[in-house]
Structure 1
Amino acid sequence: IKGVTVLVHDQSCAANLRRLRKRGLVHEPKKRIFINEAVCEGCGDCGVKSNCLSVQPIKTEYGRKTQIDQPSCNKDYSCVEGNCPSFIQVIPSEKDDKRKLPDIGFDSSMLPNPKKIQKDVANIFMLGIGGTGVVTVNQIISTAAFIEDKKVISLDQTGLSQKGGSVVSHLKIVNNDKEYSSRVANGESDAYLVFDLLTGVNPKNMAKLSSKNSTSVISTSEIPTGDMVRSTAEEYPEASFMIDLIKEYSKNNTLLNATELSEHFFGSNMQANFIVIGAAFQSGCIPISSESIEKAIEMNGVAVTQNTNAFNIGRKVVSDPHWIDTIDLYRSGSLASKPILSSEALNLIDSISPDEELRRILEYRTQELIEYQNLAYAKEYMSFVGNIFEKEQKTRSSSELSQNVAKYLFKLMATKDEYEVARLSLKAELDSALSKEFGKSAKVKYMLHPPFLKAMENIPILNMLPGVKSKLALGSWFKIFYVMLKNMKFLRGTIFDFMAWFSNDVRQADQKALDHYKSVIMKNIDEIGNGKYQDLKDFSVLPDIIRGYEEVRLETMTEFYQKSDNLFKS
């Protein structure tokens, strides 16, 4: 093509769009999107379709799932295009009937004043990601220093912060008239404030640390990158390793999960950085009074009460480390609850005399299988797990293989067909999560793309019907059909399973994967004392690869069989 080609990206920067909405300069859509994590497979298809960092992977009892970080969502709704029935459209309640945010529960005036560093220059180095307020925090600490007539030198390196990239802020609080560089030099940081772990372990940033004078205040929250959002193959690095790495090069360390605390007390993660600042202050590495910091927060004029409380929560965590143990932290969108077991489920679990961890895993899954199909189906599961556990105990003191089998055999047996999606969509935990997040009067619509409608895509005239080429938004009245489907689970696997008529290839593939998994394990279980134990453990977790719905799911099965063949030739 001759001449100049211009590519115009016509979508607003999400971070800037949120700022404009906060200022009332751009319309704020009412509609929100919520993911039912019980139905979610954590396949990452919504991340691929939306390329959005607000579609975040999370770790749950049942493996990787996806949730939408509501405060950072730019509401373009492209994630709904993901091939998955877990999406729920919500119009939040206009009544005051959401989850009541808890009071901080202590008198901040009673917090002890820390012993602060006394130096001509206090070097504070802050590390985070764009859109989370790192620069704002730097400005507030600078303002607090100005209030005390102290000299301040600061520098913000924002890079690609608008894309969720790294942000690094240098801040020097000076107590003399000398001139200093705006950058914190290598080995000179007094306060190393880690708002984001991945940024914190960047070797270039860690060069600022010194085992002689650095106090590291680390938020242990796991904030995913874009690659982690889009691909299940990209996992968050081991957090404990990264934390230990920072601790190794620091003199003192303070750890806290600032994001969890922020979500619990404020309903979003936007106050997390102020919690870290509070912890840093109480650790003595910010040589300014708490009164000046609170005054600077007030002068900033944004979320004054929340940010002040967040600052004091960070102080409380350091001054009273056991305080956090008294809090049952709430995670937005979580459907987690302790399993309620029937006597039948308890008897099944007791029948194999599992150790403590295996029992815990089985407690979360046995009752689910009874409700998924029936007691006989759960017995089949327990019989297989019990057999593996018995053979493992003959050669091993641990139950690692049995634990893996308990998790992933369940995953293959409890595949999310239409009957199971209906059951999971009717769970009381889902209604509770929606009410807490959006209010009891919130209006809900289920975003579904039924296979029987998708099958009409290439049929003239019929392909013009709603729901053929895109998802339908079905109101709360659709629960009636969910109840009907849930109660038709006895049709599953029979010739009368009418839901399988339009997705038989997926049903057959799921059954084949289950048969393959059980077959390989049974063929090799008697060889675990002859060097096959590690290979079998590696194989036992392979079903984690199988994720998603329909064509997305079938694609993942190819990788499952490839890796299986690498370990055990069929």
Structure 2
Amino acid sequence: MAVWMDRQTAGSVQMGGEGVDWMGTAPFTVTPHIFQNLGDGTYFHSGHLAIRQSVAAGVNITYKLLFNDAVAMTGGQPIDGQVTVPQIVKLALAEGVKKVAIVAEDISRYAARGELPAGVTAYPRDDLDAVQRELRDIEGVTVLIYDQVCATELRRRRKRDKSLQPTARAVINDLVCEGCGDCQTQSNCLAVVPIETSLGRKRAIDQSACNTDLSCLKGFCPSFVTLEGATPAKRPVPATRDFDFDAAVTALAPPVPTKNHSSPSDILLVGIGGTGVVTAAGLIAQAARLDGNGVRTLNFTGFAQKGGEVLSHVRFCSDETALHQARIAQGEADLVLVADIVAGVSEKVLTVFSPERTRCIANLHESQTGPMLRNPDIRIGSNRLIDLLTSRSQRIDMIDAGQLAEALVGDREQANILLLGFSWQLGALPLTLLSIQQALDGLGRYASIARVAFQWGRLAAAIPAQIHDLLGQSTGSRAK
């Protein structure tokens, strides 16, 4: 991943072979030392053998071992087996590693312990560069353990009340912000997003995506404000208080589904990691089962933990024997729900489109991309992406689900649920309303807000003009 991020990173090797390529290269180069990244999951299943081999080869290398408590690259699973930082330290030293250092977000957890061998020190993460320089000058194999829970996984745990909520949050005063993008450069964080204002492009913090590590404060900028004890407000805009929501929902006419259950319904959801794409796909699958269908699902999360794309294939049919595989074949999608338009135009997604068959429903919200962190002036060019989706679709409907979720529900994280409601009201999801409601009930403490978001999505599809007047701004919904 670092190779893709313009960090002057060289070399690529399979998991478990970290550093092996350097053993063959070191005798034939003037470079005296390299750093090698290694994850805790990889270390546990085979990476420690690469460290052992580096010691045997006598090369100068520092292994930067990320102890993040999750298999982050493939979806946040727990690592296979239990291993602790003190155990890793002791094993590394026993196998001949010259020095081990720990850099942690919270070094207090080591202060009261006697588990670390003598000479092993835990440093705050701000000392990372200094520690790396020290280890670089030591001849032989050294190990730097970076102890910090995966930020995306930590955010999930906080949502589930499995980790403590932070006490401080950062916000940006856009009247002071000059849009230089240094906060993005310093933090490398996708939660620092560009916003367009009458005074040009500025920056804001997407609180729903924020990992609250406050790394964005490292930039020298007077526009940042830190709030202690604050939580993101989740309430609709005042304009909706005078809107009879219940009456409007009751008056909605049921849609006419565009497809029945006698043949497989092939639905692809695509978006970016951490936004609830897999959750939305799970709701569709659960509702389909409640309607008595056989269901097949397949999720590609891949680099989702790093803000990468997520693809969820959902296939269901009343005749389960008709479902020969979970993956939607080329040109066979009945519906593609595009939760992010950048991810929606990837080749893996476009292959399932058919101009004669595929209906596309797209969220117009422009999500932050990796290159935008390194070049603050990049524009996505969403019109070209929309034109591409339009050319591949039998019909396309578009809505700014993120904007509507924030304005109507008070929570941008409900954008995909609102998109489901929008799609269902248009007849694109051949599911009963009762089954969807029962599936939403399975979301636990998020069920009530999800039900509201789903109904707002229905309203946005059925009465877009009234929603436009209600908010006094464009809803961004249109069809082609």
TM-score bracket, normalised by the shorter chain, equals: 0.5 to 0.7
Give, as a single letter, the amino acid of the residue that structure 2 aligns with 1:25.
K
RMSD: 2.3
Match of 2:189 among 30, 52, 74: 52
Instruction: Write the mapping of 1:154-233 to structure 2, written as runs, cut at 5 A.
Output: 154-178=297-321, 179-233=323-377
Distance (whole Å) between structure 2 residues aligned to residue 282 and residue 12 of structure 1: 40
Residues 263-316 of structure 1: CA distance to partner in whole angstroms, max 9, x if unpaired?
112323100001111111122221111111011010221411111111111111
Q: Which has the higher helix share?
A: 1
**TM value normalised by structure 1:** 0.55
Instruction: Write the mapping of 1:288-299 to structure 2, written as runs, cut at 5 A.
Output: 288-299=431-442
Residue 34 to residue 248, structure 1, CA distance change in 2 (3 Å) = same
Contact preservation (8 Å) 1:46, 1:82: yes
- Which residue in 1 is equivalent to 2:253? 112
Contact preservation (8 Å) 1:56, 1:229: no
Question: Which 4+ stretches in 1 moved above 6 angstroms?
Answer: 94-101
Residue 13 to residue 93, structure 1, CA distance change in 2 (3 Å) = closer
Distance (whole Å) between structure 1 residues aligned to residue 271 and residue 288 of structure 2: 21
Distance (whole Å) between structure 1 residues aligned to residue 331 and residue 182 of structure 2: 43
Gaps in structure 2 of 5+ consecutive residues: 1-32, 34-57, 67-146, 475-480
Contact preservation (8 Å) 1:129, 1:167: yes
- Which residue in 1 is equivalent to 2:219? 82
Residues 294-349 of structure 1: CA distance to partner in whole angstroms, max 9, x if unpaired?
11010221411111111111111112221221132699xxxxxxxxxxxxxxxxxx
Residue 41 to residue 240, structure 1, CA distance change in 2 (3 Å) = same
Distance (whole Å) between structure 1 residues aligned to residue 377 and residue 234 of structure 2: 40
Contact preservation (8 Å) 1:194, 1:200: yes
Q: Which has the higher strand share?
A: 2
Q: Secondary structure at the match of 1:265?
A: helix
Contact preservation (8 Å) 1:156, 1:168: yes
Distance (whole Å) between structure 2 residues aligned to residue 311 and residue 22 of structure 1: 20
Residue 97 to residue 158, structure 1, CA distance change in 2 (3 Å) = closer
Query: Greater CA deviation, 321-330 or 207-216?
Result: 321-330
Shift of 1:209: 1.1
**Corresponding position: 1:313 with 2:450:** no
- Which residue in 2 is equivalent to 1:241? 384
Shift of 1:204: 2.6
Residue 144 to residue 94, structure 1, CA distance change in 2 (3 Å) = closer
Residues 431-473 of structure 1: CA distance to partner in whole angstroms, max 9, x if unpaired?
xxxxxxxxxxxxxxxxxxxxxxxxxxxxxxxxxxxxxxxxxxx
- Which residue in 2 is equivalent to 1:541? none
Residue 25 to residue 123, structure 1, CA distance change in 2 (3 Å) = same
Give, as a single letter, the amino acid of the residue that structure 2 aligns with 1:121.
P
Indicate the structure (1 or 2) with the bigger Cα radius of gyration: 1
Q: Secondary structure at the match of 1:43?
A: coil
Shift of 1:93: 5.7
Residues 96-134 of structure 1: CA distance to partner in whole angstroms, max 9, x if unpaired?
998766457433232211111125100001010000001
Shift of 1:160: 0.4
Match of 1:255 among 385, 395, 398: 398
Instruction: Write the mapping of 1:398-477 to structure 2, written as runs, cut at 5 A.
Output: none
- Which residue in 2 is equivalent to 1:276? 419
Residue 322 to residue 15, structure 1, CA distance change in 2 (3 Å) = same
**TM value normalised by structure 2:** 0.65
Distance (whole Å) between structure 2 residues aligned to residue 252 and residue 330 of structure 1: 25
Q: How many residues were matched structurally?
A: 330
Distance (whole Å) between structure 2 residues aligned to residue 161 and residue 329 of structure 1: 35
Contact preservation (8 Å) 1:57, 1:229: no
Work out the percentage of aligned pairs sharing the same amino acid.
35
Gaps in structure 1 of 5+ consecutive residues: 332-570
Give, as a single letter, the amino acid of the residue that structure 2 aligns with 1:208.
V
- Which residue in 2 is equivalent to 1:136? 279
